[in-house]
């Protein structure tokens, strides 16, 4: 019964991510509004999902100040990669290869996060079916926005539809691979907590320093701001409902 349930959840994570990305592909002409929503969604996932979960899982071995230090470290690491190594610029007149590399960095980060989501589901089911279902529902609440965010990271950095779809498929497959991987190993909860804290820092940088400014670039501030707030509220409500 538990194995059958895990298969259904695996399929659901794939479809939720894929549908989110297809939504972004269909409405790419409204990219600035979708980017605004994505910025809010990414920030909300960091604040309402990753950080609380990192503190909860890591508390057995690390105190809160250590976890928050790891979050800050993740923010700084991503900033260094973004500004100094991949030479990020918000101007689309800059080096196209540099922009596309930065887009791949962002999409790759989201895909790795999705892989970790899959691991979290698999490990939760190792504890019990009840815990596994709770974690799976929490993951599914933001899988749709993960698909949107992955596509947006490619489009906003001069990527094309083919590249966006390739990364979308990778992001959709990532949680499936994560769930499958847990058949072969177990990971201490505290270690998973540290990893989630690191990704919380990544997401805070992506949302606040990348997606948010880009959504407002040469577009009406009111509507992009409205979509950002909407993204935060939608993910907040979804995550809270998933935790019931």
Segment 173-220, tens digit of pLDDT: 999 999 999 888 877 878 888 988 988 898 898 888 877 877 776 566
Reference 17, options 150, 108, 124; nearest CA is 150
Residues 7/176, Cβ–Cβ less than 8 Å:
no
**pLDDT bracket for residue 92 (50, 70, 90):** very low
Mean pLDDT in the chain? 82
Residue 12 pLDDT exceeds 80: yes
Rounded Cα distance between 167 and 65, Å, is: 35
Total domains in the chain come to 1
pLDDT digits (tens, 9 = 90+) for 124-180: 787 667 667 767 776 776 688 788 888 888 887 777 888 899 999 999 999 999 999
pLDDT digits (tens, 9 = 90+) for 106-115: 788 888 878 8
Domain carrying residue 121? 2-242
Residue 96 pLDDT exceeds 80: no
Rounded Cα distance between 205 and 110, Å, is: 12
Question: What's the pTM value of the predicted model, to 2 decimals?
Answer: 0.67
């Amino acid at each position: 019964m538990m194995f059958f349930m895990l298969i259904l959840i695996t399929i659901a994570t794939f479809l939720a991510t894929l549908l989110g990305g297809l939504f972004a592909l269909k409405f790419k002409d409204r990219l600035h509004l979708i980017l605004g929503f994505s910025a809010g969604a990414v920030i909300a996932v960091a604040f309402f999902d990753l950080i609380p979960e990192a503190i909860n899982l890591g508390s057995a071995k690390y105190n809160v100040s250590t976890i928050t230090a790891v979050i800050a470290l993740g923010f700084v690491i991503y900033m260094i990669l973004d500004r100094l190594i991949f030479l990020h610029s918000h101007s689309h007149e800059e080096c196209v290869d540099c922009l596309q590399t930065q887009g791949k960095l962002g999409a790759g980060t989201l895909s790795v996060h999705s892989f970790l989501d899959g691991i979290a589901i698999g490990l939760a089911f190792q504890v019990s079916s009840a815990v596994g279902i709770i974690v799976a529902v929490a993951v599914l609440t933001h899988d749709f926005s993960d698909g949107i965010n992955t596509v947006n990271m490619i489009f906003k950095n001069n990527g094309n539809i083919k590249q966006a779809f390739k990364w979308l498929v990778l992001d959709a497959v990532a949680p499936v691979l994560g769930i499958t991987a847990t058949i072969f190993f177990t990971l201490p909860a505290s270690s998973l907590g540290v990893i989630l804290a690191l990704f919380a820092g990544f997401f805070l940088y992506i949302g606040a320093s990348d997606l948010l400014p880009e959504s407002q670039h040469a577009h009406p501030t009111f509507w992009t701001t409205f979509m950002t707030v909407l993204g935060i509220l939608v993910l907040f409500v979804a995550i809270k409902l998933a935790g019931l």
